């Protein structure tokens, strides 16, 4: 996965902690789902099954098709944790 995509996803997830219109959060869900599915595929290819499982679960959590409902305060924490996960694992998933 290109490093620019990872940085863009991290930025979007961090900005999502701010109070913004609902449409932005739908964009966050779409971007996060795509990035975490992609990261899961890369992790599987590199035989990092535990990491792939974590990425897959995060992708499901952010999925715009299978909506998980939490209060805004919980989503802020989840957004920042997801951004942190990408920062920590960046070297393992970049192309």
Return the pLDDT at 56.
97
Q: Which residue has the higher pLDDT, 2 or 36?
A: 36
Return the pLDDT at 52.
97
Any idea which residue has 């960046």 for tokens? 90
Q: How confident is the model at residue 94 (pLDDT cuts 50, 70, 90)?
A: confident
Share of the chain above pLDDT 70, in %: 99
pLDDT greater than 80 at residue 77: yes
**Total structural domains in the chain?**
1
Range of the domain at 84: 3-93
Q: How confident is the model at residue 95 (pLDDT cuts 50, 70, 90)?
A: low
- The answer for residues whose C-beta is within 8 angstroms of residue 17's C-beta and 6 or more apart is 76, 79, 80
The structure's pTM equals 0.92
Contact 92, 46 (CB under 8 A): yes
């Amino acid at each position: 996965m290109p490093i620019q995509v990872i940085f863009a996803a991290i930025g979007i997830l961090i900005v999502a902690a701010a109070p913004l219109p609902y449409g932005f959060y739908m964009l966050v869900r779409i971007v996060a789902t795509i990035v975490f599915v992609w990261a899961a595929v890369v992790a599987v290819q590199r035989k990092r099954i535990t990491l792939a499982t974590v990425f897959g679960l995060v992708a499901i959590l952010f999925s715009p098709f299978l909506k998980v409902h939490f209060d805004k305060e919980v989503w802020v924490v989840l957004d920042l944790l997801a951004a942190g996960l990408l920062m920590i694992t960046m070297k393992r998933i970049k192309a």
